[in-house]
Structure 1
Amino acid sequence: MAEKKVTFIIEGMHCGHCASAIAEGLKKLKGVKGADVLFTTGKAKVSYDPDSVKVDDMTKTIKSLGYEVKGIKE
Protein backbone atom coordinates (compact mmCIF):
# COMPACT_ATOMS: atom_id res chain seq x y z
CA MET A 1 0.00 0.00 0.00
CA ALA A 2 1.09 3.58 -0.58
CA GLU A 3 2.70 5.63 2.13
CA LYS A 4 0.27 7.73 4.19
CA LYS A 5 0.69 10.86 6.29
CA VAL A 6 -0.83 11.84 9.60
CA THR A 7 -0.49 14.92 11.80
CA PHE A 8 -0.70 14.67 15.58
CA ILE A 9 -1.53 17.72 17.70
CA ILE A 10 0.51 17.23 20.85
CA GLU A 11 0.30 18.97 24.22
CA GLY A 12 3.18 19.13 26.66
CA MET A 13 6.16 19.88 24.42
CA HIS A 14 8.23 22.74 25.82
CA CYS A 15 11.53 22.61 23.93
CA GLY A 16 13.50 21.09 21.09
CA HIS A 17 14.48 18.14 23.28
CA CYS A 18 10.79 17.26 23.73
CA ALA A 19 10.29 17.30 19.97
CA SER A 20 13.43 15.21 19.41
CA ALA A 21 12.33 12.61 21.95
CA ILE A 22 8.96 12.21 20.21
CA ALA A 23 10.53 12.05 16.74
CA GLU A 24 13.03 9.40 17.83
CA GLY A 25 10.33 7.38 19.58
CA LEU A 26 8.13 7.41 16.49
CA LYS A 27 11.01 6.53 14.15
CA LYS A 28 11.69 3.39 16.18
CA LEU A 29 8.29 2.00 15.17
CA LYS A 30 8.45 -0.40 12.23
CA GLY A 31 6.68 1.23 9.32
CA VAL A 32 7.32 4.87 10.27
CA LYS A 33 9.19 6.42 7.35
CA GLY A 34 9.69 9.88 8.81
CA ALA A 35 8.63 12.12 11.68
CA ASP A 36 8.86 15.92 11.66
CA VAL A 37 8.07 17.24 15.14
CA LEU A 38 8.07 20.93 16.09
CA PHE A 39 7.45 22.06 19.64
CA THR A 40 6.73 25.60 18.40
CA THR A 41 3.63 24.38 16.53
CA GLY A 42 2.81 21.47 18.83
CA LYS A 43 2.55 19.15 15.85
CA ALA A 44 4.12 15.92 14.65
CA LYS A 45 3.85 15.16 10.95
CA VAL A 46 4.47 11.49 10.29
CA SER A 47 4.77 9.51 7.07
CA TYR A 48 4.18 5.79 7.47
CA ASP A 49 3.28 2.47 5.87
CA PRO A 50 -0.27 1.63 7.02
CA ASP A 51 0.40 -2.08 6.44
CA SER A 52 3.16 -2.02 9.07
CA VAL A 53 2.03 0.48 11.72
CA LYS A 54 -1.29 1.92 12.85
CA VAL A 55 -2.14 5.44 14.00
CA ASP A 56 -3.12 3.94 17.37
CA ASP A 57 0.41 2.52 17.77
CA MET A 58 1.91 5.97 17.16
CA THR A 59 -0.55 7.57 19.60
CA LYS A 60 0.44 5.04 22.29
CA THR A 61 4.13 5.76 21.68
CA ILE A 62 3.62 9.52 22.09
CA LYS A 63 1.63 8.96 25.30
CA SER A 64 4.26 6.55 26.65
CA LEU A 65 6.81 9.36 26.33
CA GLY A 66 4.69 11.57 28.59
CA TYR A 67 2.84 13.75 26.09
CA GLU A 68 -0.85 14.10 25.31
CA VAL A 69 -2.33 13.71 21.84
CA LYS A 70 -5.05 16.34 21.53
CA GLY A 71 -5.98 15.71 17.92
CA ILE A 72 -5.20 13.68 14.81
CA LYS A 73 -5.52 14.82 11.18
CA GLU A 74 -5.25 12.13 8.52
Structure 2
Amino acid sequence: MKFLLLLVLFVSSGFAQQTSVFEVKGMHCPLCTTAVKKAIKKLDGVEKVSARLNTKKVTVVHDEKVTIDSILKAIKTTSYTGTLLLK
Protein backbone atom coordinates (compact mmCIF):
# COMPACT_ATOMS: atom_id res chain seq x y z
CA MET A 1 0.00 0.00 0.00
CA LYS A 2 2.78 2.44 0.90
CA PHE A 3 4.60 1.55 -2.32
CA LEU A 4 1.53 2.33 -4.39
CA LEU A 5 1.07 5.68 -2.65
CA LEU A 6 4.72 6.59 -3.22
CA LEU A 7 4.47 5.57 -6.86
CA VAL A 8 1.40 7.75 -7.39
CA LEU A 9 3.10 10.73 -5.74
CA PHE A 10 6.26 10.24 -7.80
CA VAL A 11 4.41 9.95 -11.10
CA SER A 12 2.12 12.91 -10.44
CA SER A 13 5.04 15.15 -9.44
CA GLY A 14 6.68 14.44 -12.79
CA PHE A 15 3.80 16.09 -14.60
CA ALA A 16 3.66 19.35 -12.67
CA GLN A 17 2.84 22.28 -14.88
CA GLN A 18 4.51 25.65 -14.66
CA THR A 19 3.55 28.93 -16.26
CA SER A 20 6.20 31.37 -17.41
CA VAL A 21 5.63 34.82 -18.91
CA PHE A 22 8.06 36.54 -21.26
CA GLU A 23 8.24 39.95 -22.85
CA VAL A 24 9.16 39.79 -26.52
CA LYS A 25 9.83 43.28 -27.82
CA GLY A 26 9.67 43.90 -31.54
CA MET A 27 6.63 41.80 -32.35
CA HIS A 28 4.58 44.09 -34.56
CA CYS A 29 2.10 41.92 -36.45
CA PRO A 30 0.12 38.68 -36.12
CA LEU A 31 2.73 36.81 -38.15
CA CYS A 32 5.34 37.74 -35.54
CA THR A 33 3.29 36.24 -32.72
CA THR A 34 2.60 33.14 -34.80
CA ALA A 35 6.31 32.61 -35.48
CA VAL A 36 7.19 32.94 -31.80
CA LYS A 37 4.39 30.57 -30.74
CA LYS A 38 5.41 27.95 -33.32
CA ALA A 39 9.05 28.06 -32.23
CA ILE A 40 8.15 27.57 -28.56
CA LYS A 41 5.56 24.84 -29.28
CA LYS A 42 8.32 22.73 -30.85
CA LEU A 43 9.88 22.21 -27.41
CA ASP A 44 9.06 18.87 -25.84
CA GLY A 45 7.04 19.47 -22.68
CA VAL A 46 5.31 22.69 -23.75
CA GLU A 47 1.58 22.36 -23.16
CA LYS A 48 0.26 25.74 -24.32
CA VAL A 49 1.59 29.02 -25.72
CA SER A 50 -0.25 32.30 -26.06
CA ALA A 51 1.17 35.54 -27.43
CA ARG A 52 -0.43 38.97 -27.11
CA LEU A 53 0.61 41.50 -29.69
CA ASN A 54 -0.70 44.53 -27.79
CA THR A 55 1.30 43.76 -24.61
CA LYS A 56 4.26 41.97 -26.30
CA LYS A 57 3.83 39.18 -23.72
CA VAL A 58 4.11 35.46 -24.34
CA THR A 59 2.72 33.01 -21.78
CA VAL A 60 4.01 29.44 -21.80
CA VAL A 61 2.48 26.54 -19.87
CA HIS A 62 5.05 23.78 -19.65
CA ASP A 63 6.27 20.89 -17.55
CA GLU A 64 9.45 20.96 -15.50
CA LYS A 65 11.51 19.38 -18.31
CA VAL A 66 11.36 22.66 -20.20
CA THR A 67 13.94 25.19 -19.06
CA ILE A 68 13.64 28.95 -19.24
CA ASP A 69 16.85 28.96 -21.28
CA SER A 70 15.36 26.62 -23.88
CA ILE A 71 12.31 28.86 -24.26
CA LEU A 72 14.53 31.95 -24.64
CA LYS A 73 16.60 30.12 -27.28
CA ALA A 74 13.43 29.16 -29.16
CA ILE A 75 12.32 32.79 -29.15
CA LYS A 76 15.76 33.83 -30.42
CA THR A 77 15.36 31.54 -33.48
CA THR A 78 12.65 33.95 -34.65
CA SER A 79 15.06 36.93 -34.52
CA TYR A 80 13.42 38.31 -31.38
CA THR A 81 14.77 38.50 -27.86
CA GLY A 82 12.71 37.41 -24.91
CA THR A 83 12.95 38.56 -21.31
CA LEU A 84 11.56 36.48 -18.45
CA LEU A 85 8.95 38.43 -16.50
CA LEU A 86 7.36 35.74 -14.33
CA LYS A 87 8.08 32.15 -13.49
> What TM-score comes out, normalization by structure 1 length?
0.91
Question: Once the two structures are aligned, what percentage of the paired residues are identical?
Answer: 32
TM-aligned CA deviation for residue 71 of structure 1: 3.6
Instruction: Give the residue type in structure 2 aligned to 1:61.
Output: A
Superposed CA RMSD: 1.0
Equivalents in 1 of 2:73, 2:33: separation in Å? 16
Please say if 1:45 is aligned against 2:59. yes
More helix by share: 2
Runs of 4 or more above 2 Å deviation: none
The equivalent position to 2:76 in structure 1, one of 42, 59, 63, is 63
Equivalents in 2 of 1:65, 1:11: separation in Å? 12
The answer to whether the Cα contact below 8 Å between 1:16 and 1:38 also exists between their aligned partners in 2 is: no
Please say if 1:6 is aligned against 2:6. no
How many residues of Structure 1 are paired with residues of Structure 2 in the alignment?
73
Larger C-alpha radius of gyration, 1 or 2? 2
Q: Which has the higher contact order (CA 8 A, sep 6+)?
A: 1
TM-aligned CA deviation for residue 69 of structure 1: 1.4
